[in-house]
């Protein structure tokens, strides 16, 4: 007997940002494998008696290996369980979704993907700004700030990221932002380009700090917070 896996996007942390479909799948799941950032009040929507298994990965902390997470998904589904894989933000953005899908396909297990509010959208909303702006920010680009080793990826398209008429959102980039900023400025992006540091978006621990491309590295160090963060860069981040 084979079960079914729902990849449920939990949004940035505020349980009120869950979709109705996400709440439905949580309420009917036999097992919920959740990321660290999807825990807390969001899990209150899980069915009483469901197995709740933490499988989150956080930079610099001991975390389950990806093959272990994929194996858990397969094993639960093979037992006939309705499984929710609860991922923070939107599961399709820097969430290791593809590896888990491939494991399910290889085992012949059915699945669905339920989209959610990405932290980039929530950060812009919290700051009271749009991600696009007519004439000056026609394009939005999402990029990861680190590779599997924790370093700034060497294959980033710096020329594209230095586009002054694009809004760039850097995920998981606090540790490497100084190097990224230096490369962007060397490629011609103005040091005074507005930047926004958004930490623990939509949660009680939320912090928003405004700066510039040149000042953001020092601002990150001064904030010293350990929460999940992203950095927005572009012509609209100043809110003007």
Tell me the C-alpha distance between 193 and 164, whole Å. 8
| Residues 196 and 209: beta-carbon distance below 8 Å | yes
35 is known as an active-site residue: yes
The residue from 35, 90, 163, 174 that is catalytic is: 35
b (16+ CB within 10 A) / e for 102-115: ebbeeeebebebbb
**Residue 21 is a catalytic residue:** no
- Give the C-alpha separation, 177 to 174, whole Å: 5
Those residues whose C-beta lies under 8 Å from the C-beta of residue 108, and which sit 6 or more positions away, are 2
Given the residues 57, 147, 207, 238, select the one marked as catalytic. 57
Positions marked active-site:
35, 57
């Amino acid at each position: 007997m084979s079960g079914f896996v729902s990849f449920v996007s939990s949004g940035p942390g505020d349980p009120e940002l869950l979709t109705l479909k996400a709440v439905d799948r949580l309420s009917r799941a036999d097992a919920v494998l959740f990321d660290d950032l999807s825990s807390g009040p969001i899990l209150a929507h899980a069915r009483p008696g469901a197995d709740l298994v933490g499988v989150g990965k956080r930079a610099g902390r001991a975390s389950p290996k990806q093959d272990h997470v994929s194996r858990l998904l397969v094993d639960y589904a093979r037992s006939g369980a309705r499984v929710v894989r609860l991922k923070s933000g939107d599961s399709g953005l820097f969430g290791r979704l593809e590896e888990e899908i491939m494991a399910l396909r290889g085992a012949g297990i059915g699945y669905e993907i339920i989209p959610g509010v990405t932290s980039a959208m929530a950060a812009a909303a919290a700051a009271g700004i749009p991600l696009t702006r007519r004439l000056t920010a026609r394009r939005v680009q999402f990029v990861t700030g680190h590779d599997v080793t924790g370093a700034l990826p060497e294959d980033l398209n710096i020329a594209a990221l230095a586009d002054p008429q694009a809004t760039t959102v850097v995920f998981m980039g606090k540790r490497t932002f100084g190097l990224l900023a230096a490369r962007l400025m060397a490629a011609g992006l103005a040091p005074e380009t507005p930047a926004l540091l958004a930490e623990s978006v939509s949660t009680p621990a939320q912090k928003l700090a405004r700066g510039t491309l040149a000042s953001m590295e020092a601002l990150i160090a001064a904030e010293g917070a350990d929460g999940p963060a992203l950095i927005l860069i572009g012509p609209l981040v100043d809110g003007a």
